[in-house]
């Protein structure tokens, strides 16, 4: 990794998109290839889909438990989406940032706005667009994870979600998974090289100069 060994501040990478755009596949490819990344696992009141595992994909909680987490300030951000509640547990994020790790968030625009309010300087937000709405519906149907009713509901919200694309730092049209992953990787390389994030650079430069004398 470039500038290896020079300490830097962790960043918070947000990926948002209407569901079915391929955001989760992109997120997993990034996580698999980058051991410094920590995935923020959200709490939700939504029922698990086939194959989803509690604690890995989400913390599946009751509405009462979710409300309690909100009340106690245990969530960094939270939002309602398609009739369910979603939120980011605060403690693991704070721990990872203090360890200098990067964190990946798969959250929607309302949550992104809240994170931007709390920590704009640490945030890098990327919006993933589908090639078209027809392609989005095709992918949701192919995924076979949701009933027709739920797919209709998700398509109905997709357009309003897409309307928030211009609140993001970067926008990627996901035509090809590998190309999109490569684009996210280059965003990460650039963002990690930002001078303000390279907290160890001052020491590094000082040493380089004194060694040269
Ligand atoms: P899904 O039900 O398809 O897993 O997620 C629905 C939407 O909720 C997606 O856009 C996803 O990014 C978003 N989401 C998941 N977790 C969170 C969270 O903790 N906070 C917010 N604000 N949105 C979330």
Which two structure tokens, joined as six digits, stand for 147?
């009933």
Residue 69 lies in a domain: no
Which two structure tokens, joined as six digits, stand for 25?
């596949």
Residue 86 lies in a domain: no
Residue 49 lies in a domain: no
Q: Which atom of ligand 1 is nearest to the CA of 57?
A: 4
Which pTM does this prediction carry? Answer: 0.92
Residue 6 lies in a domain: no
* pLDDT tens digit sequence for 50-60: 899 999 999 99
107 lines ligand 1 (CB under 6 A): yes
Whichever domain contains 192, its CATH number is 3.40.50.300
Residue 150 lies in a domain: yes
| Residue pair 105/111 in contact by the 8 Å Cβ criterion | yes
Cβ–Cβ contacts within 10 Å for residue 205, how many?
Answer: 12
Domain that holds residue 33: 12-40+101-212
| Residue pair 106/100 in contact by the 8 Å Cβ criterion | no
Residue 93 lies in a domain: no
Nearest-CA residue for ligand 1 atom 10 is 108
* pLDDT tens digit sequence for 30-89: 999 998 899 999 999 999 998 999 999 999 999 999 999 999 999 999 999 989 999 999
Local confidence band at 143 (pLDDT 50, 70, 90 cut-offs): confident
DSSP string covering 42-109, please?
PEESSPPPTT--BTTTBEE--HHHHHHHHHTT-EEEEEEETTEEEEEEHHHHHHHHHTT-EEEEE--H
Residue 52 lies in a domain: no
Q: Which atom of ligand 1 is nearest to the CA of 110?
A: 22
Residue 94 lies in a domain: no
CA dist 48 and 120 (Å) reads: 31
> How many domains is the chain built from?
1
């Amino acid at each position: 990794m470039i500038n290896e060994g020079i300490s830097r501040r962790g960043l918070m990478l947000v990926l948002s998109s209407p569901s079915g755009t391929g955001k989760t596949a992109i997120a997993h490819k990034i996580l698999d290839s980058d051991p410094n990344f920590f995935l923020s696992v959200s709490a939700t009141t939504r029922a698990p889909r086939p194959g989803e595992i509690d604690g890995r994909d989400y913390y599946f909680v009751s509405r009462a438990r979710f409300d309690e987490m909100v009340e106690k300030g245990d969530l960094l951000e939270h939002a309602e989406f398609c009739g369910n509640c979603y939120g980011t547990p605060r403690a693991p994020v704070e721990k990872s940032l203090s360890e200098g790790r990067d964190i990946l968030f798969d959250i929607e625009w309302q949550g992104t706005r809240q994170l931007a309010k709390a920590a704009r300087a640490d945030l890098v937000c990327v919006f993933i667009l589908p090639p078209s709405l027809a392609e989005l519906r095709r992918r949701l149907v192919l995924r076979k994870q949701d009933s027709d009713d739920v797919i209709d509901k998700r398509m109905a919200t997709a357009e309003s979600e897409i309307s928030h694309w211009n609140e993001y730092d970067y926008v990627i049209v996901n035509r090809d998974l590998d190309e999109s992953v490569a684009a996210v990787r280059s965003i990460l390389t650039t963002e990690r090289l930002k001078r303000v994030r390279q907290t160890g650079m001052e020491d590094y430069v000082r040493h380089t100069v004194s060694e040269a004398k």
